[in-house]
Amino acid sequence: MKRKGVIMKKIIAVDIDGTLLNSKRQITEKTKNALIKAQELGHIVVIASGRDPLGVYPFADILEFEKYGGLISNFNGGRITNYKTKDVIINHPMDFDLAKEILQFSEKNLFMHYIIYTEDKIITSSSKTYKLEEICQKAFTHYEVIDDLAYSLDFAPNKILFSQDPNLIDDDAKKLMDKFSNKTTQVKSTPYFYEIMPKGIGKGESLVEIAKYFDMDMKDVIAFGDEENDQTMIEMAGLGVVMENGANFMKEKADFITKSNDDDGIAYYLEKFVFNEK
């Protein structure tokens, strides 16, 4: 990745859970230092997450994005923000009428509940939404229950997050896929989260947009991930790196399998192949 002593600029995209964070949900000192060093060397670091912006800000602070101008890609690529300037450089909200149609369909045909992110909180149709407290912890915010949310929604969200017991989620997910696959992108981001975004939106597509924004080639994009909602960026990046702790089907799609999130897999790859340290 060096040419005549010059480090070629890269876009380095990292997923959060299972990738940037270890099993204790922490960024280790080694991983933090490696990503800060990458920015010091002129590379662009992107946090690519399904989370809302509030759920990513603390990690952007740890990685000193305010100093270096790192990007956060939220809602699986639905919104991309320059953390230093706070400018939203790319935004893809859902079609408002389609979002309401999906919510109303779910109320009549599904058992699982859903949440939607606003700018400062989570709104949900039920306090019984599966893993609701976990969702709130990740978003560093609070929630509001709106009983008639499917009918009173008054803005176009970037995504709808459905949540259900892993043993029950697939039946409802299939109903959503059968009904709305031609109008939306859908992905299971964990065994109990099922996410719906506008058609054509994904982490991989967001990296294409970011590369175009910086007038860079996709061959100069490195993506780190571990789960299904990382698949498009692993496949579309010039170099797709999957964590050792990642799903087996994801490892089959990887250009490189690095060490696990508990063994500083991001830092290991960067030191060995980007910084060219022995």
What amino acid positions are annotated as catalytic residues?
15
Give one word for 162, left, alpha or beta, with left for phi > 0 and alpha for psi -120 to 50.
Answer: beta
- Collect all residues with Cβ–Cβ distance below 8 Å to 170 and sequence separation of at least 6: none
DSSP-derived 3-state class of residue 60: helix
Q: Per 3-state DSSP, what percentage of the chain is helix, strand, and coil (rounded to 5)? A: 40, 25, 35
- Helices marked H in the chain: 29-40, 57-62, 65-68, 96-109, 132-139, 149-152, 169-180, 203-213, 231-236, 248-251, 265-269
Phi, psi (5° rounding) for residue 99? -60, -45
Q: Is the C-alpha dihedral spanning 194, 210, 62, 271 positive or negative?
A: positive
Q: In what order do the strands lie in the sheet with 11-14?
A: 87-91, 79-82, 71-74, 44-48, 11-14, 221-225, 239-243, 256-258
Question: How far apart are the C-alpha atoms of 25 and 221, rounded to whole Å?
Answer: 25
